[in-house]
Structure 1
Amino acid sequence: MSLRDLAALYLLAGLACAVAVYRASLEGRRRAALSAALCVPLWPIWAPVALTSTSARGEGGERPRAASAAARVQGALREGVDACAGTAFEALLSREAASRIEAEVARAAARHAELDALLRRVGFDEAAAAERVAALEQGGAGGRALATAHLHLDNIRRLRAMRDRDARALEELADLVHALRTQLVLARFAGSSVEGASGIVSEVWARVEGLGVAIGGQDGGAPEASIET
């Protein structure tokens, strides 16, 4: 087989992958087209990444929700900083403060992604764990085996609750930061006071601190539990 034939086969494979990626994409047409275009020359590398990402998003909504919320926070913060720049209320939302908020949000989003990936692994399925508990109860299993199964199920539920809480916290923070952004833009162009913005800034910081505390608590690990016989 000549080099020309190999090139033609490579191109055909790239085009096939591009079609598959475009059809499977959950993004808008423009992003889907860009991802598909990358597949033509880079299909051995890009196609598995794009298709795996799409599959993961289709299996559950929590990860894209959290990632989208983190991106919304980042975009709104930057617009808010730009609105404050060179005005009397620049101290309300400085670039340094926005960077600190972005760092906490990034940590929360990374933690959420880690939890989400963990809960997709074999052995972390809540339904399977619940079925195991039910089977042991029906079979009259001993106290130790049943206690172990209950502990496993409870741990999975706690992990799921952490993941869901982080997603909600990020979404609520994103909404709040968007409100702050619009308040700052209004104050800049309307020449109004920043009293309302000050209250929102305080609430943003409270939410960010709460996010950091939640992450710190998660990093500390789950408390030890004993299994009684």
Structure 2
Amino acid sequence: MSLRDLSVLYLIAGLACAVAVYRASPGDRRRAALSAALCVPLWPIWAPVALTARRAEPGGTPGTSAAAARVQGALREGVSACAGTSFEALLSREAASRIEAEVARAAARHAELDALLRQSGFDEAAAAARVAEIERGSAPGRALATAHLHLENIRRLRAMRDRDARALEELADLVQALRTQLVLARFAGSSVEGVGGIVSEVWARVEGLGAAIDAHGGVSSEEPIET
């Protein structure tokens, strides 16, 4: 195959990747077009990045199902890596199951919050606009206080959702690091002490997730937030 033929094939692949990236890109079409244009000359590098990057819809956060799946996969690999070794007590199958259960609870709460905040009655921009409208008019103070309370409740819900998402992502990164630490320890003969620190950190994060859920409980669109 000649250099010209290879160039044509490269260009065709780049165009195909550009189309895929453009269709998969949410939001601003100009940004999507720019991302697609980069794919034509740089598709081997840019296409995987653009197609796998985490994206959030306006006002949303990256989905936590991927983070939960990362935790689950890393835990199972970690358990397998330390099975039958001196590290087994640090990450048993029972311990991994407990961690997975807490992660599943946190992911479920995040999904519930995210779905709730997509409803029209929980639009932060609309709530802020209503406050501004009342402030410009001559409505009684009670109406303004109610509008402010509604806006503040929405912001609190958004903060809870975003905090859950960050906590799950950070835990997923930590559990993946634990997995590689266990694999390294198994083959390099590292000491238990070298692994114990990261295991303790994982448990601290897991307990933090559970405490946050137990403190705030579930969220329902029919339940008002008390202040």
TM-score, shorter chain, exceeding 0.5: yes
Conservation of the 8 A alpha-carbon contact between 2:124 and 2:155 = yes
Counterparts of 1:163 and 1:123 in 2: how far apart (Å)?
17
Aligned residues: CA RMSD: 2.2
Residues 140-159 of structure 1: pairs in structure 2 closer than 5 A: 140-159=138-157
Superposed displacement of residue 196, structure 1: 2.2
Contact in 1 for aligned 2:86/2:192 (Cα 8 Å): no
**Structure 1 runs, 4 residues or longer, greater than 4 Å off:** 23-26, 56-61, 220-223
Shift of 1:201: 0.6
Give aligned-pair identity as a percent: 79
Which sections of structure 1, spanning at least 5 residues, go unmatched? 1-22, 27-55
Within 2, Cα distance between the matches of 1:141 and 1:60?
Answer: 29
Structure with higher helix content = 1
Secondary structure of residue in 2 paired with 1:168: helix
Distance 1:126 1:100 in 2: 36
1:127 is aligned to 125
Q: Could you tell me which amino acid in structure 2 is paired with residue 104 of structure 1? A: E
Equivalents in 2 of 1:60, 1:79: separation in Å? 35
Q: Find the counterpart in structure 2 of residue 15 from structure 1.
A: none
- 1:166, CA displacement in angstroms? 0.2
1:74 and 1:157 map into 2 onto residues whose CA distance is 31
5+ residue gaps, structure 2, are 1-21, 26-54
1:224 aligns to 2:226 (yes or no): yes
Distance 1:60 1:220 in 2: 21
CA distance in structure 2 between the aligned counterparts of 1:69 and 1:134, rounded to whole angstroms: 38
Distance in 2 (alpha carbons) for counterparts of 1:71 and 1:220: 22
> 1:19 is matched with which residue?
none
Counterpart of 2:97?
A: 99
1:161-211 Cα distance to aligned partner (Å, 9 max, x none): 000000000011011101111110000001111212100111111100000
Instruction: Tell me the secondary structure at the aligned position of residue 148 of structure 2.
Output: helix
Question: TM-score, normalization: structure 1?
Answer: 0.71
- Report the number of matched residues: 175
Alignment deviations for residues 120-172 of structure 1 (CA, whole Å, 9 cap, x no partner):
00110000000000000010321110010000000000000000000000011
Distance 2:78 2:89 in 1: 12
Report if the CA contact (8 A) 2:70-2:172 is conserved.
Answer: yes
